[in-house]
């Protein structure tokens, strides 16, 4: 921004200088040459008037005229030739300029021409003066350009610096720092109005997002207590319900558990990012092994095995966030895997990232389904999940400036890969 504005100011000034100084220089050179021609013409007329009497009567030019011609030639460096009516030279200055401005004036009286005076006048001094004038104009242009550049730099910075601060504020707001604000008292009026508009928009957005988070959190908190009470009542009814109704009771308890998980996941999504665990160097291989061990029993109930593999690697992340991400991915893998299959949990370093892979042997997902899998409340088919697990996982990974994606597994299932920044 500063460079473009500065170049604009300098280019505009340069254009004005060219439009003014070039015609001025050309006009000055023309005037100097015209003044020189007029002077030489006057000198020729003067010499002709001295020789007029001799030429008119056909007498030899006297010594005074010859002396005047010689002095003029010596003082000016010009070559002077006085010719008679026949065109033959009657007076010549001898040595003098062979090249230069040639002026020929007639010697006449009463309408009769008695001869001519020719002067070849050197123009080197006039050319030097014209060159000096052009040089002076160039120096003046350079000074004006330097002043314009300095003034343009000050003006452009007065505009671009506040704009850069507005841009940085907009970037911070876009990165989720909704409390970021742009300075409203710097720069021109247009920039100040832009900053005020950005701040007003950010304030409205912050209010909207905070109110939404507060609503979700409050609603989730309010729902937890009655859901817990409902689950306890359903469990207490189990011994009083006759066998034909126990299947319905079990379905009700399952739906209650599902609703409780949904409330917990909504709370996780509504949790502000500034209240999360600080990132530190964590051994992701050890975390993966611990979560695999925790899920072994549940996997065994579905006739599944969980295998872990990978050398110890350390990533900069929140240990609790990594564990929650692994729990979400393992839960999806258990739901998608057929009995008798294996879930593989691996870790390692690749392309500058620390990678965690959770690979199942299920039916897999098409490309369009993998692209939508991280959308909230979306799940493949008619599944019983809330559709929030992967959305939560992505949010947790992004807190640590990482990436998460679903890929085709080597055995036809899904390869869920988490990429985190290394700690060293």
CA-CA distance, 176 to 253, in Å (whole number)?
A: 39
Q: How many angstroms separate the Cα of 137 from the Cα of each of 16, 147, 356?
A: 13, 15, 72
Strand ranges (E), 185-243: none
* pLDDT at position 345: 92
* 251 Ramachandran zone, left/alpha/beta (phi>0; psi -120 to 50): alpha
CB 243 within 8 A of CB 364: no
Paired strand residues for 350: 353
* pLDDT at position 403: 92
CA-CA distance, 2 to 8, in Å (whole number)?
A: 10
- Walk me through the domains of the chain, giving residue ranges and CATH numbers: 2-126 (3.30.450.20), 189-270 (1.10.287.130), 278-420 (3.30.565.10)
Neighbours of 191 (CB within 10 A): 21
* pLDDT at position 262: 67
* pLDDT at position 51: 86
| Cα 221–Cα 225–Cα 231 angle in degrees, nearest 5 | 130
* 87 Ramachandran zone, left/alpha/beta (phi>0; psi -120 to 50): left
Global pTM value: 0.47
Residue with structure tokens 């109005």? 193
Question: Running DSSP on this structure, what letter comes out for residue 97?
Answer: -
* pLDDT at position 31: 94
Q: How many angstroms separate the Cα of 52 from the Cα of each of 69, 85, 215?
A: 14, 11, 116
* pLDDT at position 256: 78
DSSP assignment of 164-193 equals HHHHHHHHHHHTT-TT----SSSS-HHHHH
CB 285 within 8 A of CB 311: yes
- pLDDT tens string, the chain, 424 residues long: the values are 667 777 777 888 888 888 888 999 999 999 999 999 999 999 999 988 888 888 877 788 888 888 888 898 888 888 999 988 888 888 888 766 567 889 999 988 877 888 999 999 998 889 999 999 999 999 998 998 888 888 877 777 777 777 778 888 888 887 777 778 888 887 778 778 888 888 888 888 888 877 777 776 676 667 777 777 887 887 777 777 777 777 787 778 777 776 776 666 666 666 655 555 678 899 999 999 988 988 888 888 889 999 998 888 899 988 888 888 898 899 889 988 899 999 999 999 988 999 999 999 888 888 888 888 887 766 665 455 556 778 888 888 888 889 999 988 877 889 999 999 998 7
Among residues 51, 53, 42, 115, the alpha carbon closest in space to that of 76 is found at 42
Q: How many angstroms separate the Cα of 359 from the Cα of each of 18, 185, 313, 319?
A: 72, 55, 19, 21
């Amino acid at each position: 921004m500063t460079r473009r504005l500065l170049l604009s100011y300098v280019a505009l000034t340069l254009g004005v200088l060219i439009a003014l100084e070039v015609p001025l220089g050309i006009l000055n050179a023309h005037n100097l040459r015209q003044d020189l021609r007029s002077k030489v013409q006057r000198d020729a007329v003067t010499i002709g008037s001295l020789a007029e009497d001799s030429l008119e009567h056909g007498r030899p030019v006297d010594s005074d005229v010859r002396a005047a011609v010689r002095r003029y030639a010596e003082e000016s460096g010009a070559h002077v030739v006085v010719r008679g009516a026949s065109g033959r030279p009657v007076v010549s200055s001898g040595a003098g300029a062979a090249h230069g401005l040639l002026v020929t004036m007639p010697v006449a009286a009463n309408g009769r021409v008695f001869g001519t005076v020719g002067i070849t006048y050197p123009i080197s001094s006039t050319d030097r003066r014209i060159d000096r004038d052009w040089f002076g104009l160039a120096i003046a242009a350079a000074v004006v350009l330097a002043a314009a550049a300095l003034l343009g730099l000050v003006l452009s910075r007065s505009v671009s610096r506040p704009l850069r601060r507005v841009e940085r504020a907009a970037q911070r707001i876009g990165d989720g720092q909704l409390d970021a604000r742009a300075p409203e008292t710097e720069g021109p009026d247009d920039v100040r109005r832009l900053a005020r508009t950005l701040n007003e928009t950010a304030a409205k957005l912050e209010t909207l997002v905070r109110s939404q988070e507060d609503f979700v959190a409050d609603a989730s908190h309010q729902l937890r207590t009655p859901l817990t009470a409902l689950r306890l009542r359903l469990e207490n009814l189990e011994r009083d319900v006759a066998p034909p109704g126990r299947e319905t009771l079990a379905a009700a308890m399952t739906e209650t558990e599902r609703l409780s998980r949904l409330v917990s996941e909504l709370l996780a999504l509504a949790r502000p990012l500034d209240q999360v665990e600080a990132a530190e160097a964590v051994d992701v291989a050890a975390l993966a092994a611990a979560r695999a061990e925790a899920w072994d029993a549940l996997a065994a109930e579905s006739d599944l095995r969980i295998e872990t593999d990978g050398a110890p690697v350390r990533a900069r992340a929140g240990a609790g966030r990594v564990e929650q991400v692994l729990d979400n991915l393992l839960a999806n893998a258990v739901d998608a895997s057929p009995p008798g299959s294996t879930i593989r949990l691996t870790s390692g370093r690749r392309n500058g990232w620390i990678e965690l892979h959770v690979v199942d042997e299920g039916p897999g997902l098409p490309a369009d389904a993998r692209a939508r899998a991280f959308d909230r409340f979306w799940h493949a088919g008619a599944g019983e999940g809330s559709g929030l697990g992967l959305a939560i996982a992505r949010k947790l990974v992004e807190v640590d400036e990482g990436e998460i994606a679903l890929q085709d597994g080597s055995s036809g299932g899904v390869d869920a890969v988490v990429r985190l920044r290394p700690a060293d």
